[in-house]
Structure 1
Amino acid sequence: MTLARKGARRIVVDGTAYRWHAARRHLCCDYEGGTLGWVAEDAAHPGTTLVVETGRRARLSPRPTPADLILPREVATGIRTALARGWNPTVNGSPFKIDLPNSETDQGS
């Protein structure tokens, strides 16, 4: 499964480019009382998609708070964690799912 280019953001982690976005219709997130998550893939050679669940409640509000946002540093941390756990983003396969409930943005919640 590859990510749509529209709405995806680019991030470079340790010299490798990835595309990511908040998951609205993917396996991890419901956005109506569910939890906040995001998905990522290798930008040059998409293969296995990374699905990250933050464990933070997703709230629909006109003015998001910092806890409602997914920051690039959180994505970089998630990508590094997934790689350390065996995610191989350039090989085709089922989505690689991880939970990161203690992300950097949780500290202020």
Structure 2
Amino acid sequence: MALNKKGSRRVAIDGIEYRWRIRRKPSCMQGLCWTPLTYAVEAATGSQPGTNLTFTSGQAHPSNWVGVETGPIRPAHVVASIREARDHGWDPTRVGSPFQLDRSAGFIAQS
């Protein structure tokens, strides 16, 4: 499934353009800081969509409802996650289920 172009950002790595997007409004679980922030990445080039990367971070969504402070996701973080996913076998041109990369081991849910 292709990402919505509106609200997405582009980043180039090794000559390949990617589009990434963080959900503008947090899900209910993210808003309450019960689950961490996730973002999606896809290859921006090509005529057909391939496999998306779903990255789960170890921090709260910046628009959470309980006031937990969090830092921004910068393009450098996205580049690092794309490179890590590629090292673990993610092929953005292959069609299939989203590739999951979970780095939320240090996330502490709020209660």
Question: Scaled by the length of structure 2, what TM-score is found?
Answer: 0.75
The secondary structure found in structure 2 opposite 1:56 is coil
Secondary structure, counterpart of 1:68 in structure 2: coil
Verify the 8 A CA contact 1:48 1:94 in the aligned structure 2: yes
1:7 aligns with 2:7: yes
SS class of match (1:41) = strand
Q: Percent identity?
A: 37
Measure the CA separation in 2 of the matches of 1:99 and 1:43. Answer: 22
The amino acid of 1:31's aligned partner reads Q
Over the residues paired in the alignment, what is the CA RMSD in angstroms?
2.8
Q: What is the aligned counterpart of 1:80 among 72, 79, 83?
A: 83
Q: Does 1:60 align with 2:63?
A: yes
Task: Give the Å deviation of 1:95.
Answer: 0.4
Query: Deviation string for 1:17-76 (max 9, x for gaps)?
Result: 000011458xx9943123112100000123000000002122436xx96x3311100000
Larger radius of gyration: 2
* CA–CA distance in structure 2, aligned partners of residues 59 and 71 of structure 1: 12
Q: 1:10·1:19 contact (CA, 8 Å) conserved in 2?
A: yes
The corresponding residue for 2:37 is 36
Bigger share in strand: 1
Q: CA deviation at 1:13?
A: 1.1
Partner of 1:11, secondary structure, is strand
For 2:61 and 2:84, locate their aligned partners in 1 and report how far apart those are by CA, in whole Å.
22
Assess, with a 3 A threshold, how the Cα gap between structure 1 residues 60 and 24 changes in structure 2: closer, same or farther: closer
Runs of 4+ with deviation above 3 angstroms: none
